[in-house]
Amino acid sequence: MKFAFDPPISDKIARMQQRVRWQDEAFRIRKIDQTQLNIDDRQGNNSEFSFLVVGDTGCNGNKQYSPQQQVAQLMLQHQNEVSFILHTGDVVYEVGSKEYYPQNFIHPYQEFIVSNKMPPPTPYDRITFKIPFLLVPGNHDYYNLSLPQSILAQVAKSLRWLKRSGSNLNLGLFGSDVGEIYAKAFLDYTADLTTEELAHHLDRHYTAKFQDSLCLNYQPHRFTRLPNRYYSFRYGNLDFIALDSNTFNTPVPIADTPEGAKLREQLIAQLETLDRQYEQLKSNSQKLDLGNPFQQDLMNDYQLKLHQISDKQKNIHQKLQAEDISFDYEQLNWFKNKLISSWSDSTVRGRILYFHHSPYVTESTKYQLEETLKVRHHLRQILNQVTQTLKGYNQSRPLLDLVISGHAHCFEHLYTFDTGYADSDINWLICGAGGHSVRRQRLEGGILTEIQGAKTREVARSRLFLGCKGHGIYKKRPYSCLRIDVGGENRSQFQIRPLVAEQAYQNWYHYQPDSFAIG
């Protein structure tokens, strides 16, 4: 990432806690659970309902090429038939800036947002949804810009290039301020309230009851804030658990040994090669004539390659800069206890987990990343602890009915076999093709393996992959969102319906691949 950096985990945790006044006395004396919400739509007891899923959306592109608008049109066709929308993160590229919320979120989804008396567009910190829009933060929603003295020159240079090329990298003068903009847009941001204002606010909006606590009452058209960066809700006797994977995805520090020093040298050399490739691609893109539709396609290819290189650069920087950092034990411990509580409640008929970073994926730029493997590792550890705690757990049924994520720019359905851990026999859905540079499946194909001891174990297999395919004038880019229909009685059943807007042959084509059942 040329213009941005990922803040330390400790900063993300501390800043987000301040914004929602985490564990403040006003919440504690009212016995408010700051991680639970209730969707107040009078439909939450229905066993049959539908919802949409979308992710990695926040890049509106140029006027001739706006995948996000195309996907938003697909979603709008189902607006009156679904109960809510899940968003898997990366709401606004590149750095979660308030400058880009109007064009990269508010405008594409304006039909889902309550209009107000203010001049359009709706201010980013005054969004109220007509239908529940339930998000988790992505990495781009946390990014900061580099130091001002270097950024001003880089931005000025980039803007001159962008003006010539017709491209749009969604970079301005501001970053996310460690997720500040995301928090003001979607969370119940109470940090600025006085003691009296907070008391009135809590008495007005934290009126729903869940188990032995009060919780936030989410009211479409009226009050549509989320209580925290991670949270849960129950709908149709299904438990939905939302995590912030940005605080448990970092690599282990490089060892201070001769072997570690050698690895560091290799990584620095790789980084220098990637830097040269990035600059060469950027130089080539400046020479394109965007009045030529075929060169417009080539520009889109260049942008995709630039983002792929940026992903690799970010992965290396994470490894080089890894230190003995803070780790989000509190969130993962909350997740463990939430899952145990859910399994201890006989009225709950299923569990869906969603977050940003995909633990299993065959998209070409994400499957090998350190953050992918770290999220997989931590999720396994928690699920193992849950199975050890639960008495009489029926291992013929997985702990989670669905795990939904984004980050990888594709749609994919994977299934884990016997991994040796409690994440076996789970269906994984990746919904990260909502607007930004869809990518290809890796050349090695759809089977994921791990070396465990002396053996190579097949741990997961891709059952459906929708991503970039073809070359040149035959290239196809299927952007997508997802509709999930929920049925079943004692155990939930899901009908998975991908919705696709494909860019090919200088045109857009909307279609629905065959749906498939889970459960």
How does 2-19 read in b/e, with b if 16+ C-beta sit within 10 Å?
bbbbbbbbeebbebbbeb
Assess whether 113 and 241 both reside in one domain: yes
Instruction: Identify the DSSP state of 515.
Output: P
Assess whether 281 and 389 both reside in one domain: no
Residue 472 pLDDT grade (very low, low, confident, very high; cuts 50, 70, 90) = confident
Tokens 């076996």 belong to residue: 424
pLDDT over 70 (residue 208):
yes
Assess whether 387 and 311 both reside in one domain: no
Here the tokens at position 28 are 């504690």
Assess whether 210 and 152 both reside in one domain: yes
Distance separating alpha carbons of residues 61 and 187, to the nearest angstrom:
26
Residue 164 pLDDT grade (very low, low, confident, very high; cuts 50, 70, 90) = very low
Q: What pLDDT is recorded for position 346?
A: 93
**Mean pLDDT, all residues of the chain:** 90
Query: From residue 234, how far is each of 37, 76, 181, 186 by CA, in Å?
Result: 8, 24, 27, 19
Assess whether 332 and 302 both reside in one domain: no
Q: What pLDDT is recorded for position 260?
A: 73
Cα Rg, the chain, nearest whole Å: 22
Give the pTM: 0.89
What would the pLDDT profile of 386-411 be if each residue is shown by its tens digit? 999 997 777 779 999 999 999 999 99
Residue pair 244/136 in contact by the 8 Å Cβ criterion: yes
Between β-strands 49-54 and 476-487, what pairing exists: parallel, antiparallel or unpaired?
antiparallel
Distance separating alpha carbons of residues 365 and 66, to the nearest angstrom:
22
Ranking 123-127, 282-286, 356-360, 433-437 by mean pLDDT, the lowest is 282-286
Averaged pLDDT, 165-194: 85
Q: What pLDDT is recorded for position 153?
A: 38
Residue 167 pLDDT grade (very low, low, confident, very high; cuts 50, 70, 90) = very low
Q: What pLDDT is recorded for position 116?
A: 67
Assess whether 126 and 262 both reside in one domain: no
Assess whether 295 and 330 both reside in one domain: no
Q: What pLDDT is recorded for position 163?
A: 45
Assess whether 267 and 366 both reside in one domain: no
Query: From residue 25, how far is each of 31, 198, 341, 385 by CA, in Å?
Result: 10, 11, 25, 31
Assess whether 231 and 264 both reside in one domain: no
> Quick one: what percent of the chain has pLDDT higher than 90?
69
Residue pair 477/438 in contact by the 8 Å Cβ criterion: yes
Residue pair 104/170 in contact by the 8 Å Cβ criterion: yes
> Quick one: what percent of the chain has pLDDT higher than 70?
89
Averaged pLDDT, 306-321: 74
Cα four-point dihedral sign 332, 496, 436, 459: positive
Assess whether 294 and 216 both reside in one domain: no
Instruction: Identify the DSSP state of 472.
Output: G
The angle subtended at Cα 481 by Cα 461 and Cα 338, nearest 5°, is 70
Give me the domain span that covers residue 278. 258-319
Where are any strands of DSSP class E within 344-406?
A: 350-354, 402-405
Q: Give the residue from 275, 296, 319 where a domain finishes.
A: 319
Task: Provide the CATH number for the domain around residue 183.
Answer: 3.60.21.10
pLDDT over 80 (residue 497):
yes
Q: Give the residue from 273, 293, 319 where a domain finishes.
A: 319
Q: Which of 453, 436, 84, 37 is nearest to 218 (CA)?
A: 37
Assess whether 17 and 77 both reside in one domain: yes
What would the pLDDT profile of 46-87 be if each residue is shown by its tens digit? 999 999 999 999 887 655 678 999 999 999 999 999 999 999
Assess whether 349 and 310 both reside in one domain: no
DSSP secondary structure string for all residues of 23-67: T-HHHHHTTEEEEEEEE-SS-TT-S-EEEEEE-S-----BTTB-H
pLDDT over 60 (residue 161):
no
Q: Give the residue from 269, 289, 319 where a domain finishes.
A: 319
What would the pLDDT profile of 249-268 be if each residue is shown by its tens digit? 987 667 778 777 877 888 88
Residue 331 pLDDT grade (very low, low, confident, very high; cuts 50, 70, 90) = very high
User: Cis (ω within 30 of 0) for the bond into 121?
Assistant: yes
Residue pair 390/340 in contact by the 8 Å Cβ criterion: yes
Could you give the number of structural domains in the chain?
2
Between β-strands 144-145 and 4-5, what pairing exists: parallel, antiparallel or unpaired?
antiparallel
Residue pair 90/57 in contact by the 8 Å Cβ criterion: yes
